[in-house]
Structure 1
Amino acid sequence: MRKGNWVTSLIFLVLQGICSGLFAVFFVGKINGLIGLGGSMTGGLKFSGAGAFFLTLLYSLILSAVLAGLYLAGAKLLKGQVRFQEALSIVSMRSVILVPVTLVSCLVFLISISAGIVCYYCMGSLAAVVFLMVGSRGIAEVNSDRRIYLTVGVLIAFVVVFFLFASWVLPSYVPSSVRELSSLGGIMNSFMP
């Protein structure tokens, strides 16, 4: 972590984004399967698997950079000596465990949708916290107690940012035909007494 090798960090972050994109493709596939039950009338309402993959990859990289920025700011606040490359290395340690957890979640998702989602979010979050704690040991001038406060504070801030970001970008996953349909429904409801 102290070497701050940004190339290795970036490789793991991209791998994690690719695996998350794969999970999004499986998720969109299941949604499209349900939409397909409506026959030809719902054909235009299907989600794009390729769009979901690339959006998830992009959003994963953005959120990883935000998490690294939060670690950098938190460490500086606690008078730790860290550079952005080192903060990126901490975040990439999370990616090391999230890659296999995400792949396992994809397999579980194919068997059971709800179990796959629980595996992806719960097991992924727990494993990520453990690896972030281990990665934060490399921050100079921050003792073990402060590392716990740092990681907990960063994770709380990240959860808030994640939900704000997710609410902002969620419409980008929805096909334009569905957005038009929902806006048409809103217009029609405004005319109803």
Structure 2
Amino acid sequence: SLALPGVFVRIDETLEEAAYRTIKEEIGSCDIYLEQLFTWGDIERDPRMRIISISYMAIVSPHKLKLVKGERVSEVKLYSVNKLIDTKEKLAFDHMKMIKYAIDRIKNKVAYTKIAFEFVEEEFTLPQLQKVYEILLNKTLYKANFRNKIKELVEETDKMTEKQPHRPSKYYRLRETEYEQNKGIFKR
């Protein structure tokens, strides 16, 4: 059955180091957003033995993905999260619960963090960013209201889209506040 990537934590590494090791082994990159998600400890979650898992949520741009088949797996493949949930695809252990928990976490974080910006390139158009918000929130947003809400978070670049069938769009980037520049918050 399908399973999320994971490893056992080595005696000489931290939880975060184990998470980054998994990411490096499975997708070949560590330049990503990573956040501890939840600790899973139901008694019979793994029929082999008592296993406690600490799950992490990683967000990585598709152009950074380089899927690598490691020693522990027969195949590495990307799946649409919505299709996995809708088709009731069989996942190992409680991995479906983990996926649903991560989706809920992202939806909740959209309201009070800049996590949506992890799903766009460094420079993006406002329609691209709005589409990300709509996907994460699972609802259609009114263009004018959306732009009003995010105007303090973005700054224009001097670039425009080219060779589009519609009117060119301006490119924007995430505006970093002085606090973020000094503390490294939400840095890429």
Q: What TM-score do you get using the length of structure 2 for normalisation?
A: 0.30
Greater relative CO (CA pairs within 8 A, separation 6+): 1
Give the structure with the larger strand fraction.
2
